[in-house]
Chain A
Amino acid sequence: MIALQKKATLFKKIREFFDAQGLTEVQTPSLLNTPTTDVYIDSIAVVTNKEIGQKTHKYLHTSPELEMKKLLSQGSGDIYQICQVFRDNEIGERNFNEFTLLEYYRLDFDIYQLMSDISALLRHLGIHDEVVKMSYAQAFNQFGKIDILNTDFESLKRIALTHDLNIDFEWIEDLQMLLFVHLVEPCLKDLPVCFIYDYPSEQSALARVDGKIAHRFELYLSGVEVGNGYDELQSAKSYQQVFARENAKRQQINKPSFELDLEFLACLEKPLPKCSGVAIGIERLASQLFAT
């Protein structure tokens, strides 16, 4: 089967899986008024309507997350979307300026239920390998002998030095990530399907925080990060806090900071229902799925 057909079959099977469970496929705008505030994700800016005297700055979406959450807050119920997304400053063997995301949300699911649901999706797609689930702390303990949830920034720097790693970081989460990439990820290569869950609160992103832990997970297929999911924040206030914090961090490392997405925050006057959601990179999934 040629690659084009394989990819088409993959899309068909994904839709089959979600349609059978009654999710609604949605399409949200990819040309947005506000760029992402995510510290390490850059939106691609475009200028529209210049020739007709109505010059407007727009941004290609880096993920359909916020637009889909607007739908969720308006009562859409379980939804999924498959779309192209765009990110600036990403080039590599597995990083591109444009790629395909599958993003879906399940109402009343926590991350454990969502991880089980993704495992079922992977089986439906033909991945029958054993599914390993490991907390972030377990993974660090097993592969790096580090008690990651109870190690402060200074102590972590000392540990990084023993591994000959750069310790020039502004925030502990960046050093946690470096150590994860250096010590843990290479060990995940031997595991065909692995979920890492319950991240340190410093890496909460848009996930619900419970003490030292953020209810967030990532899906790794043979050591390659393929998906990222959250037990989603619900209130406008909690999102506003995250956006403001990310903007402050962007300023600290001399990256442009942006106006908060007021449209989104206004929409969340009606808070998000309790739900969990995940974004899965389709090309990375396909390359693992069709690897010989």
Chain B
Amino acid sequence: MANYSTSQFKNGMKLMLDGNPCSIVNNEIVKPGKGQAFNRVKFKDLITGKSLIKTFKSGESLESADVMELDMQYLYNDGSVWNFMDTESFEQHAIDDSSMDDARGYLVEQDMCTVVLWNNNPISVTPPIHVMLEVVDTDPGLKGDSAGTGGKPATMNTGVVVQVPLFIGIGEVIKVDTRTNEYAGRS
């Protein structure tokens, strides 16, 4: 893979850092009045999702990471792996349960997801911003409390628990914001 020097760094660039593919979130050039220039760079580790800050001497270089983001359709989960299909190439990718993180609570069959591949292996899945999920368990709502006083927890068909308004009952399909795990309306 190619190497990129600090002068070529830009936001979103995917680079290898300590063996993990990372994405540049922010690149700051700092030149002390009486010193040499440094680049203070904020990275997001694409595998762990953690962010980290590194400071380089200007001119240092890092190896680029072979990372691709693809839109794929979620097919099914067979218990240990989650199966996706590239709707253009019809290539199928199986993603290990351990790489799913929070995404597993929002996957609805046939939804389009963003899958990140590193060296052709999937490393993370981002579900659509809004997904439609069915309430499978929640306490019965209290009549006359429709003003909403914070709501109540409800378990979805995917297993994730979302805070919903009191009037929502079992069997209803609701819209959930996957970025915040918040109720975003009824179907």
Contact = CB atoms under 8 A, between A and B. Distances in A.
B34 A174 contact: no
Contacts of A228: 33-34
Contact of B40 (A40, A166, A182): A182
B18 A40 contact: no
Given A95-B29, A165-B55, A166-B56, A181 B40 contact: yes
A177 B60 contact: no
Given A165-B55, A166-B56, A168-B57, A181 B38 contact: yes
Contacts of B37: 40, 90, 92, 95
B63 to A, nearest CB: 15
Which has the most chain A C-beta neighbours within 10 Å: B18, B30, B40? B30
Contacts of B55: 165, 178, 181-182
| Chain A interface extent, by class | 20 to 34
Contact of A92 (B29, B32, B33, B57): B29
A90 B31 contact: yes
B35 A205 contact: no
Contacts of B36: 40, 174, 177
A186 B34 contact: no
A261 interface: no
A225 to B, nearest CB: 6
Contact of A93 (B28, B33, B34, B60): B28
B33 A181 contact: no
B53 interface: yes
B31 A164 contact: no
A185 interface: yes
Nearest to A207: B34
Contact of B35 (A164, A173, A186): A173
Contacts of B54: 164-165
B18 A164 contact: yes
B31 A95 contact: yes
Contacts of A153: none
A218 B40 contact: no
A178 B58 CA distance: 11
Nearest to A281: B33
Nearest to B32: A177
A165 B57 CA distance: 9
Q: Chain B interface residue count: which class?
A: 10 to 19
Interface string A30-66: 0000000010110000000000000000000000000
Contact of A177 (B18, B35, B40): B35
B156 to A, nearest CB: 39
A100 interface: no
Most buried by B among A164, A166, A181: A181
Interface string B32-75: 11111110100000000000011111001000000000000000
A180 interface: yes
A121 B36 CA distance: 29
B30 A181 contact: yes
Contact of B32 (A165, A181, A186): A181
Interface string B2-36: 00000000000000001000000000111111111
B34 A205 contact: yes
Contacts of B57: 166, 168-169, 178
A41 B33 CA distance: 8
Contacts of A225: 32-33
Nearest to A228: B33
A169 B38 CA distance: 13
25 contacts: A40-B34, A40-B37, A41-B34, A90-B31, A90-B37, A92-B29, A92-B37, A93-B28, A95-B29, A95-B31, A164-B18, A164-B54, A165-B55, A166-B60, A174-B35, A178-B38, A180-B32, A181-B30, A182-B38, A182-B53, A182-B55, A186-B40, A203-B34, A205-B34, A225-B32
Given A173-B35, A185-B30, 5 more contacts: A91-B29, A168-B57, A177-B36, A181-B55, A218-B33
Interface of B: 18, 28-38, 40, 53-57, 60
